[in-house]
């Protein structure tokens, strides 16, 4: 019987990892299945642009995986039973058609979704840009607003900033407000913050700082200081959360539900499970948790692939340097900010702003898409056979401290970014 590898999620981490696995392992003794709700590869990095009304050519996952031998299952993962090695799936809308998929090795890469942080009314009345259906719903709402319609973006993390500036630039007839819980974009350097303020002023965005949102209603937002902000479209951008599936399955997870792994992205509790992307709690080369980002998805996906191939074929497991260079933020199509960070993830004083930064980011977006669709471009195809009886526990739980010398690795998606708000950070 072939060794069954099941990849959950075909975003930046899952699609890249699945494609690479298919090119590294012999189809004679492995069978790779990818489960994803969406039929297309969704460029999540552009969803604020989609919401603002811009259109992009999409690539189907069937096209992305063409010729690789990967089986694509369009379905929604609803549960995982790691003891039976079975994943439960339903039809993509999650309504009917429950089925079970067995695996020998699992790569969990289900990404994340918008986090309402338990704020009353946010889930019911606010829009978000964390997934394509949500971004399209927001777009439809914006299409329906009249001149002067009020758009309130809650959260001054990177997604909130990108969303507010994109909507303000694409739809100058609307009145856009950006709500920050503290000082605007406190994670950026003073120079970059100044650049952002000038961009907001140029785009006519009202910035409300030191404003905590306590409740969202259909046409207004209630703040902690008793201020009431009227809103025709409230966009919730106060952070991302992971799916509760891993925690419910009994995998070792952090408080926020991200899967705890060793230095090779292998689950600390279940050696036949690996995790990558937003779902994984991976420690970077600087000793800090990697932020949710496209770059982290690339690094962790590649590390998981190296570990799976190494463990199944008995070859040496290569190591990927898990680094995080900084934040890259678009401010509409003509402006942007590139903010590098130091080893402690603090912003360096220097930043790049303006058209050059915007062009740089546009290049990153193109490269991210291309590399996901062509995972092993320039990499020789070496399809290895499995060792007769792969020992599931052989290389398990490699602590970071004893990893062999780390090999610097050029990320396939080198888009520096950071999560909108670390888990547990109070809502904006």
The site for ligand FAD (CB under 6 A) is made up of: 9-14, 35-38, 42, 44-45, 47-48, 76-77, 109-111, 129-130, 159, 162, 243, 277-279, 292-295, 297, 328, 415, 417
In the complex, minimum distance from the CB of residue 213 to ligand FAD, in angstroms, rounded to a whole number: 19
Q: Which residue is nearest to ligand FAD (CB)?
A: 11
What distance in Å separates the CA atoms of residue 154 and residue 157, rounded to the nearest whole number?
Answer: 9
Residue (42 or 126) nearer to ligand FAD, CB: 42
In the complex, minimum distance from the CB of residue 10 to ligand FAD, in angstroms, rounded to a whole number: 5
In the complex, minimum distance from the CB of residue 376 to ligand FAD, in angstroms, rounded to a whole number: 18
Residue (76 or 425) nearer to ligand FAD, CB: 76
In the complex, minimum distance from the CB of residue 9 to ligand FAD, in angstroms, rounded to a whole number: 3
In the complex, minimum distance from the CB of residue 428 to ligand FAD, in angstroms, rounded to a whole number: 16
Residue (12 or 317) nearer to ligand FAD, CB: 12
Residue (35 or 152) nearer to ligand FAD, CB: 35
Residue (211 or 293) nearer to ligand FAD, CB: 293
In the complex, minimum distance from the CB of residue 387 to ligand FAD, in angstroms, rounded to a whole number: 29
Residue (108 or 193) nearer to ligand FAD, CB: 108
Taking CA atoms, 100 is separated from 17, 25, 80, 84, in Å, by 22, 24, 9, 11
Residue (200 or 386) nearer to ligand FAD, CB: 200
Q: Over the Cα atoms of the chain, what is R_g?
A: 21
In the complex, minimum distance from the CB of residue 35 to ligand FAD, in angstroms, rounded to a whole number: 5
In the complex, minimum distance from the CB of residue 71 to ligand FAD, in angstroms, rounded to a whole number: 14
Residue (47 or 322) nearer to ligand FAD, CB: 47
What distance in Å separates the CA atoms of residue 84 and residue 6, rounded to the nearest whole number?
Answer: 14
Q: Is the Cβ–Cβ distance between 142 and 175 less than 8 Å?
A: no
């Amino acid at each position: 019987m072939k060794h069954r590898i099941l990849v959950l999620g075909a975003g930046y981490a899952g699609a890249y990892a699945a494609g690479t696995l298919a090119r590294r392992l012999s189809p004679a003794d492995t069978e790779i299945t990818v489960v994803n709700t969406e039929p297309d590869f969704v460029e999540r990095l552009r969803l604020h642009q989609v919401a603002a009304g811009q259109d992009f050519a999409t690539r189907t996952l069937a096209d992305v995986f063409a010729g690789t031998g990967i089986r694509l299952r369009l379905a929604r993962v609803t549960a995982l039973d790691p003891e039976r090695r079975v994943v439960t799936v339903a039809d993509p809308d999650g309504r009917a058609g429950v089925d079970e998929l067995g695996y020998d090795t699992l790569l969990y890469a289900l990404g994340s979704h918008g986090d309402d942080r338990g704020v009353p009314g946010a889930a019911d009345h606010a829009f978000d840009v964390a997934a394509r259906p949500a971004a399209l719903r927001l777009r439809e709402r914006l299409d329906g607003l009249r001149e002067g319609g009020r758009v309130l973006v809650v959260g001054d993390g990177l997604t909130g900033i990108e969303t507010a500036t994109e909507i303000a630039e694409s739809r100058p007839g609307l009145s856009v407000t950006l709500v920050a819980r503290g000082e605007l974009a406190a994670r950026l350097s003073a120079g970059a913050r100044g650049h952002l303020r000038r961009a907001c002023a140029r785009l006519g965005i009202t910035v409300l700082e030191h404003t905590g949102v306590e409740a969202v209603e259909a046409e207004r937002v209630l703040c902690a200081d008793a201020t009431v902000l009227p809103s025709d479209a409230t966009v919730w951008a106060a952070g991302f959360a992971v799916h509760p599936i891993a925690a419910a399955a009994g995998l070792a997870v952090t408080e926020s539900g991200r899967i705890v792994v060793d230095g090779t992205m292998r689950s600390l509790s279940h050696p036949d499970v690996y995790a990558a992307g937003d779902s994984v709690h991976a420690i970077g080369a600087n000793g800090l948790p990697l932020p949710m980002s496209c770059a982290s998805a690339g690094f962790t996906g590649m590390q998981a692939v190296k570990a799976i191939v190494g463990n199944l074929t008995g070859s040496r497991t290569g190591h990927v340097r898990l680094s995080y260079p900084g934040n890259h933020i678009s401010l509409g199509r003509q402006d942007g900010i590139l903010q590098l960070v130091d080893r402690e993830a603090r912003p360096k004083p220097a930043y790049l702003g303006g058209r050059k930064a915007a062009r740089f980011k546009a290049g990153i977006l193109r490269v991210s898409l291309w590399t996901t669709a062509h995972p092993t471009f320039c990499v020789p195809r070496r399809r290895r056979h499995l060792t007769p009886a792969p020992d599931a526990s052989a290389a398990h739980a490699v602590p970071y401290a004893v990893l062999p010398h780390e090999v610097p690795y050029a990320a396939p998606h080198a888009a520096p970014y950071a999560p909108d708000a670390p888990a547990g950070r109070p809502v904006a």
